């Protein structure tokens, strides 16, 4: 439902972002701007497709979003019988990853846009800034019916910390020389995100599968 061989990924980096709160505020502004802009530019088509009221509700949903840490998501799953293993009814541990199906079930039950933050550091790439309790300042934007549509986070800005994180991840600093130089010579504090454009359309247009919003979907067994 959410994966294809080729997809459109929209990326950006924001400057002068110091905290998780700053970053989430950027994401919230972006989400509302996208939905509002979609309403403005595609209004006549949405009316033809009988989707105008839906997208208007999604615009209002942007104002009613919630922020939830990974630890709080684990606690939510435990409280609402969303299991790590459905057969054995095993609950998620504190540092377990919540897989796609369970995450979608949680988001659908909440029924709101969820900004999921503060993941265990082993889930994310080396360049995420560290948070409390061995977490990183990452944020996934999850929406009902689709799940994650944005992956993002605050970046490590200190050269020494970034170098140490590369070594900890088992990577070779010499292969990341240009990236390290950005921090070494002062690129400032940044955060960034990657938005799955096709997943966003799946949500906006209330489609069951991502294949319905791509003109020529490419996936295993179907390559044009």
Q: What is the pLDDT of residue 222?
A: 77
In the numeric block, which tokens belong to residue 40? 């403005």
Q: Give the per-residue pLDDT at 27.
A: 98
Q: What is the gyration radius of the CA atoms in the chain, in angstroms?
A: 19
Where is 141: in which H helix or E strand? strand 135-143
Closest CA to 126 of 94, 158, 97: 158
Q: How confident is the model at residue 178, as a pLDDT?
A: 93
Paired tokens of 66: 């919630």
Statement: residue 57 has pLDDT above 70:
yes
Per-residue pLDDT tens digits for 108-153: 999 999 999 999 999 999 999 999 999 999 999 999 999 999 999 9
CA 170 to chain centroid, in Å, comes to 25
Among the listed residues 156, 60, 66, the one whose alpha carbon sits nearest the alpha carbon of residue 116: 66
pLDDT at 224 over 70: no
Its pTM stands at 0.94
Average pLDDT, the chain: 94
Q: What percent of the chain lies above the pLDDT cut of 70?
A: 100
- State the pLDDT confidence band at 221, using cuts at 50, 70 and 90: confident
**Within 13 Å and on the Cβ side, how many CA atoms surround 149?**
21
pLDDT band at 21 (very low <50, low <70, confident <90, very high): very high
Q: Looking at residues 150-177, what average pLDDT do you find?
A: 95
State mean pLDDT over 177-201.
92
Q: Provide CB contacts within 8 A for 44, sequence distance 6+.
A: none
């Amino acid at each position: 439902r959410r994966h294809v061989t080729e997809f459109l990924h929209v990326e950006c980096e924001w400057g002068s972002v110091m905290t998780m709160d700053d970053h989430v505020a950027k994401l919230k502004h972006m989400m509302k701007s996208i939905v509002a802009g979609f309403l403005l530019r595609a209004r006549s088509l949405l009316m033809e497709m009988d989707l105008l009221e839906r997208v208007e509700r999604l615009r209002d949903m942007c104002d009613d979003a919630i922020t939830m840490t990974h630890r709080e998501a684990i606690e939510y799953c435990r409280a609402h019988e969303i299991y790590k293993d459905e057969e054995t009814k095993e609950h998620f541990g504190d540092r377990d990853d919540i897989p796609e199906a369970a995450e979608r079930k949680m988001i659908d039950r909440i029924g709101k846009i969820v900004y999921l933050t503060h993941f265990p550091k082993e889930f994310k790439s080396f360049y995420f800034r560290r948070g409390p309790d061995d977490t990183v300042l990452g944020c996934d934007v999850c929406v009902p019916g689709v799940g994650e549509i944005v992956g993002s986070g605050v970046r490590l800005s200190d050269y020494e910390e970034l170098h140490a994180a590369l070594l900890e991840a088992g990577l070779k600093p010499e292969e990341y020389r240009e990236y390290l130089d950005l921090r070494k010579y002062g690129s400032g504090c940044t955060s960034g995100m990657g938005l799955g454009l096709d997943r966003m359309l799946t949500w906006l247009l209330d489609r069951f599968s991502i294949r319905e919003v791509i003109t020529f979907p490419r996936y295993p067994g179907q390559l044009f």
